[in-house]
């Protein structure tokens, strides 16, 4: 299978290309230099050259706070760019996988969000534009996967773990919010699941994170320092006390992943195990 992967320079796109190649598929990874998703002519040209059987669309504007100040640019990437790709998938009759986010919901309550829930109420520009991307895919295509993820970390980019390790080296104490709840997602593990999925025709909406239970960012920081052997003290604070964010953040990022098992897909390892492997790889590289 020939698979076009957008956002290859990002954490997830990088791992998806590696996993596809590992399984013997022909992966064609592109980023903005090879295909500007905001330019329909650029998208058409690459699709005509590659002629993919499937597309994994990882490219997105994911800087949540800066998105508030650049709404037009963010919409061009997350909404219009996704629509251009969906239109080309429709022309070629190829499968499309769109990577989305829990930010399409309002982030309230305590119940996990079901993948087929349509109670959309984005809190910010990022969430709104990702939802517009979802709607473009679902309205144009029949052969699509919409996979919502949360709290992503991977080797090929910046993430919460790297930030904590960097701060923990120079500060005795860090303040971390304890009222935003979710589950981390390791892109290395997620990439394997996404390739499992794209090899099937079990289309529809899915949620995917690592297993291991729902936690706060405070809990995550504590485990990062524990596994890394840091003595850094973590002080729990509320989102309101923490301040600083330009964009509203969801308090409830719990995602219901039961549909994955129901469709026969193997669930991801626990986030604690994923963190252990991620830290080991970082130590091996340093």
Give the CA angle between residues 34, 152, 216 to the nearest 5°.
160
- What does DSSP say about strands 204-207 and 26-30: parallel, antiparallel, or unpaired? unpaired
Judge whether 126 counts as a catalytic residue: yes
Please state whether 36 falls in left (phi above 0), alpha (psi between -120 and 50) or beta: beta
- What does DSSP say about strands 95-101 and 215-216: parallel, antiparallel, or unpaired? unpaired
CA distance 163 to 170: 11
Choice among 98, 103, 120, 126 that is catalytic: 126
Give the helix ranges, DSSP H, for the chain. 11-22, 40-50, 64-67, 71-75, 81-92, 125-140, 160-170, 187-198, 217-228, 239-242, 258-262, 271-285
Q: Which residues pair with 118 in a beta bridge?
A: none
Active site residues: 126
């Amino acid at each position: 299978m020939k698979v076009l992967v957008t956002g290859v320079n990002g954490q997830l796109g990088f791992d998806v290309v590696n996993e596809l190649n590992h399984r013997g598929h022909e992966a064609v990874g592109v980023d903005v230099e090879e295909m500007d998703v905001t330019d329909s002519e650029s998208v058409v040209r690459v699709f005509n050259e590659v002629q993919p059987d499937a597309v994994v669309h990882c490219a997105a504007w994911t800087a949540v706070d800066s998105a508030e100040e650049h709404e037009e640019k963010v919409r061009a990437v997350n909404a219009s760019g996704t629509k251009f790709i969906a239109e080309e998938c429709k022309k070629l009759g190829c499968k499309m996988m769109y990577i989305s986010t829990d930010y399409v919901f309002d982030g309230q309550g305590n119940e996990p969000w079901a993948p087929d829930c349509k109670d959309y109420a984005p809190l910010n520009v990022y969430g709104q534009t990702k939802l517009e991307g979802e709607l473009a895919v679902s309205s144009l295509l029949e052969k699509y996967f919409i996979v919502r993820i949360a709290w992503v970390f991977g080797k090929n980019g910046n993430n919460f773990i790297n930030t904590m390790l960097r701060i923990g080296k120079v500060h005795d104490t860090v303040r971390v919010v304890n009222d935003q709840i979710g589950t981390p997602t390791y892109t290395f593990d997620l990439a394997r699941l996404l390739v499992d999925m794209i090899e099937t025709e079990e289309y529809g909406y899915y949620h995917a994170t690592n297993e291991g239970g729902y936690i706060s960012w405070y809990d995550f920081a504590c485990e990062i320092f524990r596994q890394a052997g840091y003595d850094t003290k973590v002080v729990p604070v509320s989102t309101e006390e923490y301040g600083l964010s330009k964009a509203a953040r969801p308090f409830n990022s719990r995602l219901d992943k039961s549909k994955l098992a129901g469709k026969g897909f193997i669930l991801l390892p626990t986030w604690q195990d994923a963190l252990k492997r991620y830290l080991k790889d970082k130590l091996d590289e340093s």
